[in-house]
Amino acid sequence: MSYSMRTTSVVMAGLLTLAVLLLAAGCVVNPVIQPAPAKSTDAVKATAAVPESMGKAVTPMEMRLTLADKPALGCPLTVTLMLKPQIAAPNMAITVTLPAELELVGGALTWQGDVGKDEAKQISFQVRVAVNGYYSMKAYATFNPNPGSPFPYPKAAWLYFVVDGAEGWAGEEPPKNNWVANNVGVGGLPVPPGTEQIIAHAYLTRPLEWGQETDLIYEITPTADINHVEIGFVLPVAGLAVVERENPRQKTFSWQPSSERKILGSVFHTPMSWEGMLVKNDQIVIRVRLKPTTTGEGAIIAYTSENRPGGSVLLHKEILRLSVYRPDRAE
């Protein structure tokens, strides 16, 4: 055998041996395209109410509170909660919350059980009107059609009352609010707690009632001398009338009346305020007499701010939330 033939035989034998070794080691394989995993129809299941936006769920159920009779002071009333889910609602839990002005005299305020798809469910109970005024009750229901899901279906319903003796009104929507809020802000950055240098409190001498006057009192006691303060009230644009005002006895205070302003089509009223100097431990008392001009609800802001070289700082701010309604003006 010639040298070239021996060399060729050795090379071929070596290549054959190498191939056998690589196959044994698993390093030489034919390329195989693996099929994509089959999509399981059970991989994703609906486990919660369908999100409407930002986690808010759409609950497929009709729900409302109704009243059989017109409410009146001291009289018993039958309230009925009616609901109808569009899907099966297993283990539904219902709770009704009563205001302090209503007393439960019959039935129960809680219920739990299964409600079928499109099944109309009614739950009745009896209450008694104990106090005149404006208030509301709330019914809240929740159920979970997918056991194990952390997102149950919630649903709520309200019933609103306006009662004045033998006259009363009830509705599933709040009574008409004829007040107009004043969106003006009170100036100044709040000071750190404990550094206010005043003790202040605002209150009404009696509850606000239709046809009646009430006094708004603002008491400010300084714990240090303060050179220049502004003490004021932000009242609704419409809803309350100032019958009279009583300036503080300190003669150093000047009164600044409220005035109407318009900015970009919006109407607001500047605060009515008093400006002057506070003397340590010399209490300031401001009295304003108010009377409702229409029914509705809103807020009064009482505030005290200090004018400093670098700007204004807010020493005190208190919000009084008020409402006055009548049955004959609820619609």
Domain-ending residue, one of 171, 202, 221: 171
Model confidence at 57, in pLDDT bands (50, 70, 90)?
Answer: low
**228, part of any domain:** yes
Kindly state whether residues 125 and 157 are assigned to the same domain. Answer: yes
Average pLDDT over residues 201-209: 95
Whether the predicted pLDDT of 1 surpasses 50: no
Query: For position 189, what pLDDT does the model report?
Result: 85
Domain-ending residue, one of 140, 171, 202: 171
Kindly state whether residues 152 and 201 are assigned to the same domain. Answer: no
Q: How far is CA 21 from CA 7, 26, 32, in A?
A: 21, 9, 21
Task: Determine phi and psi for 226, rounding to 5 degrees.
Answer: -130, 120
Q: What is the Cα–Cα distance from 135 to 141, expressed in whole angstroms?
A: 20
Kindly state whether residues 148 and 206 are assigned to the same domain. Answer: no
Whether the predicted pLDDT of 43 surpasses 50: no
Q: Which residues are within 8 A (CB) of 275 and not within 5 positions of it... i.e. 6 or more apart? A: 228, 229, 230, 231, 253, 254, 256
Domain that holds residue 88: 56-171
Query: For position 175, what pLDDT does the model report?
Result: 94
User: 265: domain CATH number?
Assistant: 2.60.40.3670
Kindly state whether residues 220 and 161 are assigned to the same domain. Answer: no
| Amino acid residing at 192 | P
- Find the range with the poorest average confidence among 74-88, 147-161, 285-299: 147-161
pLDDT in tens, 77-90: 999 999 999 999 99
Kindly state whether residues 135 and 226 are assigned to the same domain. Answer: no
Average pLDDT over residues 65-75: 93
Higher confidence at residue 20 or residue 183? 183
Whether the predicted pLDDT of 41 surpasses 80: no
Average pLDDT over residues 131-139: 94
User: 119: domain CATH number?
Assistant: 2.60.40.10
**210, part of any domain:** yes
Average pLDDT over residues 196-207: 94
The helix or strand, by DSSP H or E, that contains position 234, with its residue range, turns out to be: strand 226-234
Question: Tokens 């240098």 sit at which residue?
Answer: 197
Domain-ending residue, one of 127, 142, 171: 171
Average pLDDT over residues 175-188: 86
Kindly state whether residues 144 and 237 are assigned to the same domain. Answer: no
Average pLDDT over residues 123-147: 93
